Chains A and B, each alone.
Chain A
């Protein structure tokens, strides 16, 4: 008790060394070096033709590869990407080369029109046509392939070495300039959107979706994408608000490989809604969606979800995070506690969420 009060009294401990050069000046110097390092791997992506996907206007994406018929998931409608209210232009977007043999990763936002033609332009002016190979709808990422060899590749920063408060630069080549454009900010939070993305306060907008978010040494943290917890890429209407997301690349090597192999990933869906008044621990089931994995697993109203994959559930939002971090088709072990005290462990295969309904009238948002 005493030491704690002492901490209160002794004020800010940071009075350590007086730094001479203000931070903003240093930033000015460092940013150029970082841009030079990553710049060659940042590409312009232009799209031609296609139709903008919106609510009520959904159609399946054409097969990335012919002859791959078996998978049901791929035939399903992919749903809208951009919520109504934001009118997307079909201007160029940005992508990042992650494989020297022609692999370019970008945000699904850039390909939202289902374009007939995709053109990738490198820093040195070389242009290639590209085709979409795979997608991760839950992260808003798409994998493109261009026919080229020995392309410049960016260095990817391991996800665990990213920390809140670090400076970040969001690079892009959307405006076709010789040097990439840059927006500056700091890492606002880690593991947002069910652990898929980091949050930054650099301005992100259609001007840099698909581009890399780098640290001050020019290492790539992630790909800027308009995400929001509400679903799909609704985050585009938050553009330039200081709430930006970048899908962390460092912790999804399997997903990237899967996308290269033509996989289309979706968000995992269990099909339970939670009692928000229950503070935890555990999450109390309020209702169960029909024909959902939860119903197949025989969950009931009033059951308490206490563990997912061995992790104790803290509260309902925590459960959403634990489930939402998986892609559809993944198997998870869920432990529920019945009303009578029995604990049941079930292995559930997650499904993809049903197509969203048109949004209800907006409740007053928080201030």
Chain B
């Protein structure tokens, strides 16, 4: 007996084939993913309200126990119940909320569940590095399935980036997703607030939204995550305990026909309020809006997206051009600086802040003692009055001391983490011998002179060093003395002393310098002193104090950095007094670099671009189709495939194309008028042609439709490309989803309650079809077209919806004919229109004629009929005609309608408890 396992083992080894190498590699991928999940999962939590049922997910992003979730999960709650994968529940205070962007930050109470008292956490990643087709993992607690709080892990690819999803509520300003990541990893109700990780396990988004079909609130392959890039913009405010506000330009910028010249469509200012920031900055209606923060604007959506991810108060630049009537031309571009106004989300930001006033730290021991004393006296008084002695005080002003004290501890933790990061980045700055000089530029642009230099010491800004250096300075004495006085007044100029200073600091909010978001760490006490840290907290980007010299708030902002050898160096600083720019300090290196700071801590792994490489060329072959449906619930848009060099478009025959004309949008955003060219109703396809000849350089790449009947086995990996839910407009890339071929079968299908037009074998895939994907392409990973996506159909056999594609080889002849490449090509529609006379079998069924058709039991067999010749008898149960399963009498008549007189079919039937098969030759009805 002992030999048996050995033999089995040998057999197994003997069967090692070439595919085992792939298996081993795949196992390696699985192992690394398992390691990744083991590392990440402990930080993924369930977030529940204390009172109401339901809840969502969240993710801890700091060892101090701060977690990110959706605002629509926390709502207006101040405390949430958190379930962690260790199986236990904890409490967390809601710190900051961002209703406009659907984000909330909470802080876990108490000591962490790790052995060293910290919390498990994940790292923030870089959503702007995501690529279409890259693998992502979504984690969370969909449908609150996890009673042990172990998260659900789902996998998918990035279907789209920089998607814009309007918000809800009045003016659609709450819970908007201006720049989100679209993934096909299943995201379901309850996943809200949970993390989206890239393939390296970095947090790239917070899952918060799905687009659903008529089936109800379940995933359909379209999920959205708030990008981490947007969250990082708001994080300083959120961590400071703010109700953060989104910025707005307070004006409508559209792409519409040029109001000045009437030629072409341009992005211009359509409307704005008279007292809006745009009007104040000097813009007028009809001005072209050309640039935003250095980004060229081709579409109005770009602006909405760019503004949507910025907080109110953020300083931005806007480029515009004005039309001049006299010269009938546009003036050269002008750039204005403006501060984004606050968007009106309808919720008051000052109402009941979640956090106490950080400036004064109360003496909690004292307060507690007082409260205890008060409660005791009240208990005495209350005992006389009622049976329930002072148990629940309904007085609203009662302070929750536990919560407050915890929040102060939270702030201490925040500062400790900044201190630690700063100390780390500064420790890398080794003393050395360098010459450094700085020159001062006034804001009018004229450089005055070189003002000071530091010699003989690495620029570490220790007061003593600077003092020593200043004495050696050769520059003008008045500026030097100003600087010296500033140094005297401003203790923050010493970076090595910074970590110590932060001991007594608290986070006030965010600051926006150039394109950089930073934290304002304010010091307690008078003088409004604060130090600004970069958005990861690793290096200072400025400081602020009340200057006694000029009786105002003096702010020094490091506006320009240079990164050399992984270190950040200050190049330029802006001096502001009372928020008005006064001067620019330029740091000019003599033989080295002026430096602060920071060993760059990012260790980026570029995401896998392999899939994207295959997808990018396909985008030139798949186009957006816009027709007109006029019917509620029926999309007026779809997708199409370019099948000829002249620009013929193959698409699904859809109600939106009933009108002769439609518009096709190419990859570059160009809109072209198309007209119906040919229709093949039995294939279910329409071929469109351009009304006007396409320009020579039109960005199209015609697809080849292979005519050989290659079948794709179940399991073949595929990408489906289509415009699901019209998420992509103009230049925006179409949605890409990953799936496999489920099966290639001829099945009983229903499309909008009618028969599915195409009768041959279809490809069933598990990459989801959605409204708008019809007419899109199904491709192998090598970029080969294998099918045309159809609308979502229903299977009569399962009553479930299926995503289908018609194999491309079935369409090849029709396309060749329509595009005129093959004159001799047969007319597929005509060829398929075979003999459709009704067939006769001689079987009389036991059909009651009730609504629900009964099983196909034979009641009687007519003599000398095909059935009689096939030796069928009464009481036999017909279960199959050829490959058509027959469950009801109705099924039988439908199956027979697929055959013509003269065909021979296999009839499978059950007699008693045995099943047999006979051949039956069908006759025509006489």
Contact = CB atoms under 8 A, between A and B. Distances in A.
Interface in B144-174: 144-148, 150-156
A277 B888 CA distance: 53
Contacts of A320: 147
A242 B189 CA distance: 12
A241 interface: yes
A229 B41 CA distance: 22
Interface stretch (B50-58, B309-317, B433-441, B721-729): B50-58
A13 B32 CA distance: 11
Contacts of B36: 14, 165
A164 B148 CA distance: 15
Contacts, number: 320
B603 interface: yes
Place the interface of chain B in its size category.
Answer: 35 or more
Given A189-B145, A240-B768, A165 B795 contact: no
A16 B713 CA distance: 34
B610 interface: yes
Given A8-B63, A46-B887, A364-B54, A199 B766 contact: no
Given A46-B887, A91-B885, A205 B800 contact: yes
Contacts of B888: 90
Contacts of A35: 713-715
Interface string A59-95: 0000000000000000000000000001111111000
A179 B741 CA distance: 12
A257 interface: no
A366 interface: yes
A367 B154 contact: no
A159 B420 CA distance: 44
A201 B855 contact: no
Contacts of A300: none
B26 A23 contact: yes
Interface in A167-202: 167, 169, 174-177, 179-194, 199, 201-202
Contact of B201 (A12, A189, A199, A317): A12
Contact of B23 (A186, A217, A279, A363): A217
A318 B89 CA distance: 11
Contacts of B55: 366
A180 B888 CA distance: 24
Contacts of A25: 717, 781
A24 B154 CA distance: 15
Nearest to A245: B145
B665 to A, nearest CB: 28
Interface string A289-321: 000000000000000000000000011011011
Contacts of B200: 12, 14-15
Given A14-B200, A201-B186, A129 B910 contact: yes
A318 B148 contact: yes
B205 interface: no
B885 A176 contact: yes
A5 B216 CA distance: 44
Contact of B202 (A12, A128, A364): A12
Interface residues of A, number: 105
Given A21-B25, A181-B742, A216-B26, A366 B155 contact: no
Interface string B182-202: 000111111010000000111
A242 B154 contact: yes
Interface in B22-73: 22-23, 25-30, 32-37, 39, 41, 50-51, 53-56, 63, 70, 72-73
A91 B798 contact: yes
Interface stretch (A26-34, A247-255, A327-335, A348-356): A26-34
Contacts of B70: 367
Nearest to A201: B154
Contacts of B610: 22
A184 B766 contact: yes
Given A27-B26, A182-B714, A199 B152 contact: yes
A231 interface: no
Nearest to B218: A241
Contacts of A55: none
A216 B915 CA distance: 35
Given A8-B63, A216-B27, A243-B152, A31 B796 contact: no
Interface string B828-857: 000000000000000000000000001100
Given A164-B34, A174-B797, A243-B143, A365 B19 contact: no
Given A229-B145, A367-B73, A367-B190, A27 B717 contact: yes
Contacts of B118: 1, 4
B801 interface: yes
A101 interface: no
Interface in A1-55: 1, 4-5, 8-16, 19, 21-33, 35, 46-49
A175 B743 contact: yes
Nearest to A169: B715
Given A25-B781, A205-B798, A229-B145, A182 B26 contact: no
Given A46-B885, A129-B914, A184-B739, A241 B22 contact: no
B517 interface: no
B764 interface: yes
A183 B741 CA distance: 8
B27 to A, nearest CB: 7
Contacts of B766: 183-184, 202-203
Contact of A184 (B34, B56, B740): B740
A215 B243 CA distance: 47
Contact of A32 (B147, B713, B798): B713
B146 A165 contact: no
A366 B56 contact: yes
Contacts of B35: 14
Contact of B147 (A5, A117, A179, A229): A229
Nearest to B738: A24
A365 B189 contact: yes
Contacts of A192: 145-146
A343 interface: no
Given A12-B123, A21-B25, A186-B155, A243 B800 contact: no
B116 interface: yes
Contacts of B145: 189, 192-193, 199, 229, 243
Contacts of B153: 164-165, 186-189, 201
B747 interface: yes
Interface in B120-156: 121, 123, 135, 142-148, 150-156
B155 A177 contact: no
B19 A30 contact: yes
Given A119-B910, A127-B915, A26 B26 contact: yes
B883 A176 contact: yes
A281 B89 CA distance: 9
A174 to B, nearest CB: 6
Interface string A128-152: 1100000000000000000100000
A132 B339 CA distance: 73
B264 to A, nearest CB: 42
A20 to B, nearest CB: 9
B87 interface: yes
Given A14-B32, A183-B740, A367-B70, A91 B887 contact: yes
A345 interface: no
10 contacts: A11-B601, A165-B30, A167-B30, A177-B714, A181-B742, A183-B766, A243-B218, A243-B219, A321-B148, A367-B190
Given A91-B798, A276-B53, 8 more contacts: A11-B123, A28-B781, A48-B877, A169-B715, A186-B155, A201-B154, A216-B23, A277-B50
Interface of A: 1, 4-5, 8-16, 19, 21-33, 35, 46-49, 86-92, 116-117, 119, 127-129, 147, 163-167, 169, 174-177, 179-194, 199, 201-203, 205-207, 216-217, 228-229, 237-243, 276-277, 279-281, 314-315, 317-318, 320-321, 363-367
The 5 closest A-B CB pairs, nearest first, are A242-B186, A91-B797, A31-B715, A241-B218, A11-B603
